Amino acid sequence: MNKQSESFTTGENFKAQDYFGHHKTKNGHTFRVWAPNAQNVDLVGDFTNWAENPIPMTKIDSQVWEITTELPNIGDLYKFQITRSNGEIIMKIDPFSIGLEKRPGTASVIYDIPEKKWKDDKWINRRNKTNYFKEPINIYEVHPYSWNNHDDGTPYTFKELKETLIPYLIEMNYTHVEFMPLMAHPLGMSWGYQLIGYFALENTYGRPEELRDFVEECHLNNIGVIVDWVPGHFCINDDSLAYYDGTPTFEYYNETRANNYRWGALNFDLGKPQVQSFLISSALFWLEYYHIDGIRVDAVSNMVYLDYDEGPWEPNHEGTNINFEGYHFLRKLNAVVKEKHPNVLMIAEDSETKIKVTGPISENTLGFDYKWNMGWMNDILRFYEMDPIFRKYNYGLLTFSFMYAMSENFILPFSHDEVVHGKKSMMHKMWGNREQQFSGLRNLYAYQMCHPGKKLLFMGSEFGQFLEWKYDQGLEWDSLNDDLNHKMQHYSKTLNEFYKGHSPLWAIDHDYSGIEIIDADNSDQSILSFLRKDEENYILCVFNMTPVERVNFTVGVPDAGLYTEIFNSELKEFGGNLDKLNQDTKTREGDWKHYKNTLSFTLPPLGASLWKLKIKDKKKKGKS
């Protein structure tokens, strides 16, 4: 057994694609596949007229089959024809191929992609020196198939997205773009979360070279690229990874643990060393081959908790619901990635709270940098969907997140999951008539920007698309002809720019020193106020959660002096009714909770009003 095969067997080969799969060599084309329990493996493809003239492969050790042949040409399709242990013959994809043919076909493609001379050195060097915990992160989540379509309904490839999506990201002031899975998947309805190719770019989106050029162009324009990745489960299709050699190969031997009933998929055996080599190699491949800046690991709870699925489950040897294989795999994944790429973002989609997900592995965490704050997302959307009459009775939905905001390093997501399956679009969720809905949406996005945590918004939500997202259709770009949608897009653009330009909103996101609650008890008026702070400055954030104008609204502030309003969600340019911001306002002396000074101003209905101290009165004290 050679070193690469041996390290694959021990779970330590993190560049397994350099050994397995197809490789152009001086003697032709070499193919290798892991199929330890197969009776026989043949190479078939365009160059063999498929099953008519199969090329026998040789088992070179206890688990690897190999062949070198001059027959194929670049661009040919191929599969491995596997004779399983029971004599059944089936054609399988190459698990390590970097491209598959277009749907509905699933054959692997023989690629010979030239080396790329990357031009993003400045970005990579800056990324590697940046403490992203103290930087703004505002992510635009994209499903590339449905961001925009051609007139005939076909989606844009990455070559076309380079010319259209990147200018849009720049114009809208996003710091990152996050793509739903780009890996090969046979069914668009899965949105990419039922994968068959863990190294292959989905052919619908173009060629690998086009994605590399897209990422480079993002970096040249100071935009980071994040990709969703699914290491927990895989597509059950018989021509892909499922029972690859006729026995449980990538999946668990235990049938109960192998079956993912919730998603109709198969769970990876995360304790098997070869599977660990396969998956960690996949993650590093996307980071290194495509210069990706971050990976969002999908469905972490499904990997860590045995009872997360909807089907039957069996406790572990300790009698608990912890999947120790999944737990240790994720820690190993993050350790390996961080050792090689310390400043790449590792993000978890996790809905549980039993195990700490973010933070150093030495502190008994899973080792992720960030976790989606699903609790905040669910609570806040319930609150904003509610008739304002009832909000004072459910005020805790708005404020409860402050109790645990620093328990993890959070991203605040309004993701694709919240605008499908009858949940309504973000705009359609909002209470009231159309103008009030847009007011509520502007208020909500301002609250997201001011709340501790990094930010994420799903495509189309930035301009208030009314219909739910459809995975097979482009966004409702025509709605921008409507004045309110156009102004909503302008609002999102301006708010994103405001966020990037004001460090109190992001410099201290993961420590309570970055936020000071002024009043989280005003449930009767449903008005929330707090400060966001960096080391030297602060922003006063006030949110009116009812359609009632509050004239001469008063709130306590920490410093005496002159305050200036720097942002208001209800300006006419955004679709509101205000001609201009509130005028600069001086504080007054007076006890207000634990403050010695107050600030009074007009708070518009469903409005968000942000202020900063313009001139401090050094003669007067603030807090008592």
| Active site members | 298, 349
Bridge partners, 294 (sequence order): 226, 345
Residues sharing a CB contact under 8 Å with residue 254, sequence separation 6 or more, in sequence order? 314
User: In whole angstroms, what is the distance from residue 290 CA to residue 442 CA?
Assistant: 35
Cα-Cα-Cα-Cα torsion 317, 319, 323, 329, nearest 10 degrees, comes to -50
Q: What is the DSSP string of 80-141?
A: EEEE-TTS-EEEE--TT-SBBPSTT---EE---PPPP----HHHHHHHHH--GGGS--EEEE
Please, are residues 472 and 192 in contact by the beta-carbon 8 Å criterion? no
Nearest residue to 170 (alpha-carbon basis) of 225, 222, 226 = 222
Nearest residue to 414 (alpha-carbon basis) of 403, 429, 401, 399 = 429
Strand order in the sheet with 595-603: 550-557, 595-603, 588-592
Please, are residues 462 and 489 in contact by the beta-carbon 8 Å criterion? yes
Residues sharing a CB contact under 8 Å with residue 612, sequence separation 6 or more, in sequence order? 537, 538, 539, 540, 563, 564, 566
User: In whole angstroms, what is the distance from residue 534 CA to residue 539 CA?
Assistant: 9
User: In whole angstroms, what is the distance from residue 429 CA to residue 351 CA?
Assistant: 22
How many residues are there in the chain?
Answer: 624
